[in-house]
Amino acid sequence: MDFQQLKYFQSVARLEHMTRAAQELYVAQPSLSRAIARLEEELGAPLFDRQGRHIRLNILGKTFLQHVEKAFAELEKGQREVADLAGIERGQIGVAVLYTVGAQLLPELLHAFRKEHPGVRFQLYQNAAHIMAGQLEQGEIDMCITSPRPERSDIAWTPLMTEEIVLIVPPDHRLANRESVGLHEVSGEDFIAMKRSHGLREMTDQFCRQAGFQPRITFEGDELAIVRGLVAAGLGIAMIPALALRGIPEPAMIPLHISDIPCQRTIGLAWMQDRYQTTAMRIFHDFVISYFEHIRP
């Protein structure tokens, strides 16, 4: 059993497809099949159920995969610690952000950081808050920008900023000439919202319930850009974070302060409490906190 066999097994287990795994690994399919067969022979047990050309990871394979992934995680941790002890400020940082933060802030943040630290590389993800918590636990990412604060005690979190949630309306809307509005005033309007899997949706639904009504959702989306576009097209109104308006021409939509309900959220930086952090990770952690101190929504 060698490192290459385990990498091959990990890819086949993830994809459950020999051809796609071979393409991803840049190896010939027969060579990959033989490597998996040798691994099963060494272990003395089949790791996959085979039905014709289809394969499925079986219970033995799932158990072995857990140990393989733990082993690779330990090896990666060792590589990071050795590089750190050698005083090398480089390597890779896994960072995830909310869908409602990424497009507005991440490019600016990374551009500023890379000007000072060009040797650091990044793997970037956009996900909902509960998915990012799982990615932290599994070691897929090193830190994430999320909201609200994770409830788990093993995840550390520091607040970065509190931003307003505003109501946006089309330029020709009856309220477009106002600067603020009571949320109860739009209880009969068509709303455009993020899908229920997003924390922002849960938050804005709760704001509406506090104002005494259940919003009538006519369109749901996964991207704030889609929500903004539908509002600009006159298909409804929406509640979005103030940061989502950065760089958007004002005539496209009109933001209104919500006066009757305190509508805001706090964004923070989260990481695993007891996991080792390299020099690059610590520098990026401090940089993010400092960067957000100068941001105005």
The domain defined by 162-264 carries CATH number 1.20.1070.10: no
Mean pLDDT, range 224-238, rounded to an integer:
93
Q: Which helix (H) or strand (E) holds 70?
A: helix 59-85
As a 3-state breakdown, the chain gives helix, strand, coil percent values, each rounded to 5, of: 45, 25, 30
Mean pLDDT, range 192-203, rounded to an integer:
91
* CATH assignment of 89-161+266-292, among 3.40.50.1820, 3.40.190.10, 3.40.30.10, 1.10.10.10: 3.40.190.10
The tokens of 94 are what?
């896994």
pLDDT tens digits for range 146-197:
998 998 899 999 999 999 999 999 999 999 999 999 999 999 999 999 998 8
Q: What is the DSSP letter of 253?
A: -
CATH fold group of domain 3-83: Arc Repressor Mutant, subunit A (1.10.10)
- Within the chain, all domains assigned CATH 1.10.10.10 are found at 3-83
- The average confidence (pLDDT) of the chain is 89
List 272's β-bridge partners, or say none. 155
Decide if 254 contacts 232 (C-beta within 8 A). Answer: no
- Within the chain, all domains assigned CATH 3.40.190.10 are found at 89-161+266-292, 162-264
List 165's β-bridge partners, or say none. 241
pTM of the model: 0.68
Decide if 265 contacts 244 (C-beta within 8 A). Answer: no
